[in-house]
Structure formats: structure tokens, C-alpha cells
Chain A
Amino acid sequence: MNAPTDTAISATGMVKTFGNTRALDGLDLTVNTGEVHGFLGPNGSGKTTTIRVLLGLLRADAGEARLLGGDPWRDATTLHKRLAYVPGDVTLWPNLTGGEVIDMLGRMRGGLNKQRRNELLERFDLDPKKKGRAYSKGNKQKVGLVAALASDVELLILDEPTSGLDPLMEEVFQQCINEERRRGRTVLLSSHVLAEVEALCDRVTIIRLGRTAETGTLSEMRHLTRTSIAADLAGEPNGLRALAGIYNFQVEGTRVRFEADTDRLDAVLRQLTSIGVRSLVSQPPTLEELFLRHYQDDLGNGQKQVGAAVSS
């Protein structure tokens, strides 16, 4: 991977409170220019609040944020001409058609690629003549997506953009994001769909309770976690259980199933081959497992905290 030289978004120690709720509690986020950055977290963990601060809609109580080299609050309107934003819940004006909204938002950003607009309408199978109130949830989302993707901008900020899209449209969306990457645009993608993030994102930031829990490339993150291994051995699985970095060890005759720290795989495999391997399945941790691991920390601390995270 060629390392990007510039940062599109950098935020450090961002704090935002609403009354008694601490929505952001020292959040850090760095998005490099030209990358597709996944932004993950359970409901209410502060994703939308972060995005609104970056858009200069909310003013952070503390911390520093830079967006495309400017101050998101002070330089809001000039910065906004260089980015396009799709909110998590696209609400349209009941009496404006989808086509009108797409054109209007594009013009307000300072330009729309007409050819691309029409091409996107076709790919997303969207009827631009319908009035806002007549669109389904998924189609409202498509209006927001087409408006953003057809704009000539450097940065796309997408807040759960595929909620409500069917699998076919999800596929179209992924193609579009890959095209954006090839065009050299930067994308901040907040999402719940882990498969989507796994397929699209160069780097990922996981947040919970308004703080950054983990950030990095998927392979970096995987390196710090466990690999699941299932093997059928030639003999008794002696000595395996005692190895350092082995967890959830299960034996059934000559079959074993366990998880191993990824940086200790070498020793584990040597032990396995010394017994003799008939079959072996090794699985790197899925993003879901990475995600759940942070989530389960909360569960470990008692239900209360998770409840607070989800409801706030």
C-alpha cells in the first residue's frame, strides 16, 4: 500500500457534551488523503456527532479538528464546497422531486457533473421525477448518494449511507466507492455493515462511548488479535494446551479447536506439525470479531454501560 502523504481529516481529543450526556469524550480520528476510512461504533457511540463537528454544524467543547487544511467551524462554507455529505437519515422536502434535490444540492456545493449524475441515476435505478414524500427509505438514501457522488468534490463524508439499500444496490454502492478511490478522493464511511467496511476500507477507526477504541489498517488490527484454528491431528494433541497464547482450547479425540495470538502462530504451528496434521483450517479474525471484542469489554463491565452507549 502506498502511504498517503497528507491528512484530509485530523481530530484530537474532541469533546462534546449535550447536557449531562458526554457524546464525545476525547475522540481522535485521522483520515489520510485518498483513503477510504471506515468509521465504526455501536449505536450512540458518537459517530454522527463526530461527523457534525467535522462539518462545523456542532461546535466541539474541547479538542482540535482540522478538515482539508481548514478549521471546520470557522471556514465551514469554503470547506463545504470541497466535500459532499450524506446524512444517515436522508429527509427530503415532500414537494421537491429527487432530481431537483440532486441538482440543487450539487449547485449549492458549487458544481455537479451532469453526465455522472445521469449515469448514477441509471445505476442506482432511481426515478428522479418522484416527489420527496413518495420515495421509500432506500430511495431517499439513493437521492442523497447520487447528489454526493455526482458532485465534483475532494472528500465524501457518508454517515451509514447504505441503511435501507437492498443487496443489489449495496453492490452498486461498493463499486462506486471503489471508483471514487481510483479517482483519488477521500472517503469517510461510517457504517454498521462490517462486510462493507471490510470490502472497502483501507483503514478503520473503531469508537465506543465517544472515544477511539482502535485505529489502523485491518491487517494491523488483525495482527494484534487471535486467529481461530481447527485441526485434525495424527496423534494425541499433547503439549498444545500448555503453550503460551492459546485460548478456548477444545479437544474431541484427535480434533482440536482453539484460538491463538497471531504473533505466536509460529510456535503453535511448529507444535502442530510435530504431532502431525491431517487437515487444518486457519481463520484470521473477522472485523466482526474485532468489533465485538471492544463491544464485549463493555459487556464485561456490566450491562449498564452498554445500555448507556446504546441509548445515548
Chain B
Amino acid sequence: MSALVGTGSLVRLALRRDRLMLSVWILIFVVTAAGSAGATVGLYDSVESRIQASAAINKTPSLVALYGLIYDESSLGALSMIKLGAFGGALVAVFSILLVIRHTRAEEEAGRLELVGSTVVGRHAPLAAALVVTIAANVLLGVLTALGLIGSGLPASGSIAFGLAWASIGVAFAGVAAIAAQVTSSARAAIGMAMAFLGVVYVLRAIGDTAGDGGLTWLRWLSPIGWGQQVRPFQGDRWWVLVIPVAFFVVTTAAAFVLVTQRDHAAGLLPDRPGPAEAGRSLRGPLGLAWRLQRGLLFGWMAGFVVLGLVFGNIATNIGSFMDSPAARDLIQKLGGVRGLTDAFMSTELGMMGVILSVYGIQVVLRLRSEESELRAEPVLATGVGRISWAWSHIVIALLGTTAIIVATGLAAGLSYSAQTGHANDFGRVFVAAIVRLPAVWVLAGIAAAAFGLAPRAAVAGWAALVAFLLLGEFGPLFELPQSVMNISPYAHVPRLPGGDFTAVPLVWLVLLAAALTAAGLVGFRRRDVPIT
């Protein structure tokens, strides 16, 4: 067991470093869950109202794809937590991934683990410590969430099941991250790998949930997110399902510990191949450098979004088959017929993709910040490269990259959609519906650029804005916030296409706002000290 020597002190070090961040993260989850439950409890006090609302969700494939199914339509808890089960679970997974990588591969890459490793610390101790911290954080998150839900008036048993389902998703992804941390030698790539896995399993459960009886429903059992949903909190509380993510964690963690012994310190499992001895033609200015640093990320996102576009374009047209009861047909008529329903589905999915694409935009812009704080900007800015052209080189990739991704997504979704309906003009409708997401995405990239230029130490403001707008959009209606508050979010101004009215004016304003934010960031960056670490 000497390989685990020092785990205890590394755990204490991690807790000392992260005590604030961990507390805030956990608190956000608990408050969101309890707040959302508390707001719903008052809304649906009769069983009929709950059945009506739940049935409406179950009959709307876009919502099922995004959030999952409600198995007991009379359950208050199930209805309250439908938006948070899978979607919140995915955010718990992100939390786990970032936490594990932060204390393993990121430390190793920065060379700090070498310092620690030269003291009395066993070979397996860093990974063990990261997992101990992550598991403990997830359990605490689960328990506090359960208490919060009970406090909001939901049944105790279901609340505990929900908390543990969330924790189980986090635990499963701790195992995934543990493996990813061994495979690559860069933390960025390890996070990307684990996130890609998360994206795939989220889509797997979406396909499973929308498949209808007898179809591909088994796919949801291949997904840690699906396992969390299949615990079915407030709908029978199937505790035995929790065994699956725990077993998955044990297997993946065991594999990760074996991988640790297979590699050298600071190296990944994938060997570093030698590269060119001389720079190619493109590597001559800031844009060439930025492209070189960003292209992998762009191709990854584009591939993911094209797949999503194809899948959603395809699912959308299956919606008619869901609707065979008289009540459902009634609902369809109210919503504007089958066409109206599929339009609503595409509109919701493309809207969600627009929000997610903002993650990419912010990520690309904030590469400026990590280039600066990791002191790689300094040697470049000490050459003939001006500050504006250096900063712009990454921002322009954010703007054009998001454009390229959304165009590719629109093409994929439009083609697969119109191939199903057989109407050629459906292609154009879906394609335009994808493109209109772009200005809001640029606004988020602009916020990140402004933060980088004006308040570099607070550059995470880009992420904070995204989370705030996301919460505003998801929970604003639930908390009955006034429209003027919800209008703060740029996503609120995107036309609801396909199907809704197209108005160009808000889009023009969003583009101007994005331009103003970007310009402010560039001017601020030209005036300030570099590097601010």
C-alpha cells in the first residue's frame, strides 16, 4: 500500500486550495434544486394539474430529448425536478470532471505534482487524493440537495433518491475523468476527452428516451446520465439502480490506477510524436499561431454539432408517431398542427445548441487569458506583433468558428429534416433557424473579450454571464420573473424559428452589442499592463 502514502496530506492540500470553490459550487447546486422545487410545489397543488403538465412534457419530444421522461405523471417531485434530473446531472458531471483533472493532470502538467511527488508521496496518492476529494464533494452535494428538497416540501424518500442520483452521476464521471487524466499529457485535452464522453452519453439517453416503446430504449442504460434518471426519484425510488454507477466507478478507477503504473510522470499514454523541425508557411503571424492553437477545438466542436444537428433533424419528424391519443391530437391542434409541433421541437433544440455553442465562443476568447497568465503571450508581444492584432487573432477565430459551426449544424439539421419530410423548402427554414442563434453567441464571446481586456483577473465573468443567462432562461418563467428581467439575456431576443416570426431588429442590436463589447475589450487590452497573472 506504499503507493498510497501521502494521500491524506494531498487531500488536505486539495481541500485547503479549493475550500471556497467547492463550497460555492455545491451551494449553487443545492440552492438551484431547492429553489426550483419550492417554486413548483406551489404551482401544482392538485393531482389533475400535475398529470396535465407532466403529460404535456411527456408528449413533447423536444423536452423529452432534453430533460427525459416523467414516469409517474401524478408525482409532484418528478414534475418539479424534471428539468434538473438529467440536465443538472450533466452539470454535476462537469463539476466532477473539472475537479479530478484539476488535481491530477493539471497539477502534473504545471510541474507542481513533481514537487509534491519528490516528498513522501506514493505513486497512486495524487489520483487517490483527487478521487477522495471528488467523491466526498459529490456525496456532500447529494446529501445537502436531499435536505434542501425535503425542506422545500418534497417527500423525504424521493428527495434522498434524487440527491443520490445526482451524486451517482458525479461519481461515475470521476471515474471517467480519472482515465482521461492518464491518457493525454495535457489537462486541456483530458477535459475535452471527458466532456466528449459526457456529450455522447447525454445524446444516448436522449435517443433512448425519445425512441418510444420497443425501440432503442436500451440505449439509456449505456449512459451514466440515464442511470441517474432510472433511479426514478419520486416515482418508485429504484435504489438498486445506484449500484450501476458505483460499479462503473470501481471499474474505471481500477483501470485508471493500472494506467498510472503504465506511464511515466508527466507523460500520457499516447506518446508524443516528434513534429516538424521548421515552421510551415502559415505560422508567421498571430493569426497563424491562434489558428494552430485553436483548430483542434474547432474541429471537435464542429463534429459534435453536426452529429447533434443530424440527430435532432431526424428525431423531429418522428414526432407525429408519438401522438395517437385523442387528447394528444387535441394538443397538437392547439399548438398549430404536427408542423407546429416539429417546429417547436427544432426551435427548442436549436436554442439549446445556441446556448451550448456559447461555451465554445467563450472558451476560444478566454484562451487569450490563459496565454497571458501562463506567460506565453509575453514573448509574442515582445516581437513586432501589436497587441490588437494578437488579441484579435483569437477573437476572430471565436467569431468565425462559431459561424462555421452553426452553418455546418444548420446544413446537417436542415438536410436530415427535409430528407424526412420530403419538402425541399424545409431545408431553408431549418437552416435559417440555426443561423439566427449566432448574434447571441457573439454577445457572450464579446462579454468574455471585454472582461479579458478590462478586468483580466475577473475574466471568468464570461462563464458567469453564460450561467446567469442560462438560469434566467430555464427558471425565469418558473419564478415568474418580469419579462424586463428575462430580457437581460441575449438568448431571449433570438426569434423562435422555425415557426415563429422572424424579426431582424433584435439581431442587429445583438450584433452591435457584440461589436461594442469586443471593441471595449480590445481598447482596454491596449491600455493595460501585460502580463497580469
Contacts of B109 in A (CB 8 A): 94, 133
A144 with B379: CB separation less than 8 A? yes
Interface locus among B21-29, B82-90, B282-290, B408-416: B282-290
A57 with B530: CB separation less than 8 A? yes
Residue of A nearest to B387 (CB): A76
B186 with A107: CB separation less than 8 A? no
CA distance A99 to B266 in the complex (A): 22
Given A77-B385, A105-B380, A144-B379, check contact A128 B186 (CB 8 Å): no
CA distance A116 to B387 in the complex (A): 29
Q: A134 interface residue, CB < 8 Å from B?
A: yes
B384 with A81: CB separation less than 8 A? yes
Partner of B277, one of A59, A93, A104, A129: A129
Partner of B279, one of A89, A91, A100, A110: A100
A105 with B379: CB separation less than 8 A? yes
Residue of B nearest to A109 (CB): B383
Given A57-B378, A77-B385, A108-B380, check contact A103 B279 (CB 8 Å): yes
B390 → chain A, closest Cβ, in Å?
Answer: 10
Residue of A nearest to B381 (CB): A57
Contact digits for B258-285, partner A, Cβ 8 Å, 1 yes 0 no:
0000000010000011111111100111
Q: B375 interface residue, CB < 8 Å from A?
A: yes
Residue of B nearest to A101 (CB): B279
A9 → chain B, closest Cβ, in Å?
Answer: 14
A125 → chain B, closest Cβ, in Å?
Answer: 14
CA distance A97 to B387 in the complex (A): 24
A96 with B292: CB separation less than 8 A? yes
B272 with A134: CB separation less than 8 A? yes
Which residues of A67-110 are within 8 A (CB) of B? 76-78, 80-81, 83, 85-87, 89-97, 99-105, 107-110
B272 with A128: CB separation less than 8 A? no
Partner of A97, one of B277, B374, B376, B381: B277
B384 with A77: CB separation less than 8 A? yes
What residues make up the interface of A, taking CB atoms closer than 8 Å to B?
A: 52, 55, 57-59, 76-78, 80-81, 83, 85-87, 89-97, 99-105, 107-110, 127-131, 133-134, 144, 157
Contacts of A76 in B (CB 8 A): 386-387
B278 with A128: CB separation less than 8 A? yes
Interchain residue pairs with CB less than 8 A apart (9):
A55-B382, A57-B381, A78-B384, A80-B383, A87-B379, A93-B376, A96-B275, A105-B383, A133-B109
Partner of A129, one of B274, B285, B286, B293: B274
B375 with A104: CB separation less than 8 A? no
Q: B182 interface residue, CB < 8 Å from A?
A: no
Task: A130-B272, A131-B274 are known; give 4 further A-B pairs, CB within 8 A.
Answer: A86-B379, A94-B186, A103-B278, A107-B283
B375 with A87: CB separation less than 8 A? yes
A129 with B386: CB separation less than 8 A? no
CA distance A133 to B186 in the complex (A): 9
Partner of B529, one of A58, A87, A89, A108: A58
Contacts of A144 in B (CB 8 A): 379
What residues make up the interface of B, taking CB atoms closer than 8 Å to A?
A: 109, 185-186, 266, 272-280, 283-286, 288-289, 292-293, 374-376, 378-387, 527, 529-531
Contacts of A109 in B (CB 8 A): 383-384
A93 with B293: CB separation less than 8 A? yes
A104 with B289: CB separation less than 8 A? yes
Given A57-B382, A91-B374, check contact A104 B274 (CB 8 Å): no
Contacts of B186 in A (CB 8 A): 94-95, 133
Residue of B nearest to A94 (CB): B186
Interface class of chain B by DSSP: loop
Residue of A nearest to B283 (CB): A104
CA distance A55 to B382 in the complex (A): 6
CA distance A92 to B529 in the complex (A): 21
CA distance A133 to B381 in the complex (A): 21
A97 with B385: CB separation less than 8 A? no
Contacts of A99 in B (CB 8 A): 275-279
Contacts of B274 in A (CB 8 A): 97, 127, 129-131
* Most A Cβ at <10 Å: residue of B186, B276, B277, B529: B277
Partner of A108, one of B284, B292, B378, B387: B284
Contacts of A134 in B (CB 8 A): 272
Given A97-B275, A128-B277, check contact A91 B375 (CB 8 Å): yes
Contacts of B275 in A (CB 8 A): 96-97, 99-100, 129-131
Contacts of A131 in B (CB 8 A): 272-275
B278 with A100: CB separation less than 8 A? yes
CA distance A157 to B379 in the complex (A): 11
Contacts of A105 in B (CB 8 A): 379-380, 383
CA distance A89 to B531 in the complex (A): 13
Contacts of A80 in B (CB 8 A): 382-385
CA distance A110 to B385 in the complex (A): 10
Contacts of B380 in A (CB 8 A): 105, 108
CA distance A93 to B290 in the complex (A): 11
* Most A Cβ at <10 Å: residue of B109, B292, B374, B384: B384
B378 with A87: CB separation less than 8 A? yes
Contacts of A93 in B (CB 8 A): 289, 292-293, 376
Residue of B nearest to A134 (CB): B272
Contacts of A97 in B (CB 8 A): 274-277
Contacts of A86 in B (CB 8 A): 379
CA distance A105 to B286 in the complex (A): 10
Contacts of A133 in B (CB 8 A): 109, 185-186, 266, 272
A108 with B285: CB separation less than 8 A? yes
Contacts of A87 in B (CB 8 A): 375, 378-379, 382
* Most A Cβ at <10 Å: residue of B274, B288, B380: B274
Contacts of A78 in B (CB 8 A): 384
Residue of B nearest to A16 (CB): B529
Contacts of A89 in B (CB 8 A): 375
B284 with A77: CB separation less than 8 A? no
CA distance A87 to B517 in the complex (A): 32
Residue of B nearest to A110 (CB): B384
B467 → chain A, closest Cβ, in Å?
Answer: 28
A57 with B529: CB separation less than 8 A? yes
A108 with B272: CB separation less than 8 A? no
B278 with A85: CB separation less than 8 A? no
A198 → chain B, closest Cβ, in Å?
Answer: 27
Partner of A90, one of B293, B379, B530: B379
Contacts of B279 in A (CB 8 A): 99-104, 107
Residue of B nearest to A92 (CB): B376
Contacts of A101 in B (CB 8 A): 279
B453 → chain A, closest Cβ, in Å?
Answer: 15
Contacts of A103 in B (CB 8 A): 278-279, 283
CA distance A42 to B471 in the complex (A): 51
Contacts of B292 in A (CB 8 A): 93, 95-96
B530 with A58: CB separation less than 8 A? yes
B284 with A104: CB separation less than 8 A? yes
CA distance A92 to B374 in the complex (A): 9
CA distance A58 to B289 in the complex (A): 23
CA distance A90 to B185 in the complex (A): 19
CA distance A89 to B275 in the complex (A): 23
Contacts of B381 in A (CB 8 A): 55, 57
CA distance A122 to B532 in the complex (A): 36
B193 → chain A, closest Cβ, in Å?
Answer: 15
Contacts of B289 in A (CB 8 A): 93, 104
Residue of B nearest to A99 (CB): B277
B404 → chain A, closest Cβ, in Å?
Answer: 21
Given A57-B530, A100-B283, A107-B285, check contact A85 B272 (CB 8 Å): no
Question: What are the 9 tightest A-B residue pairs by CB atom distance, in nearest-first order?
Answer: A103-B279, A108-B383, A97-B275, A129-B274, A85-B382, A99-B277, A100-B279, A81-B384, A128-B277
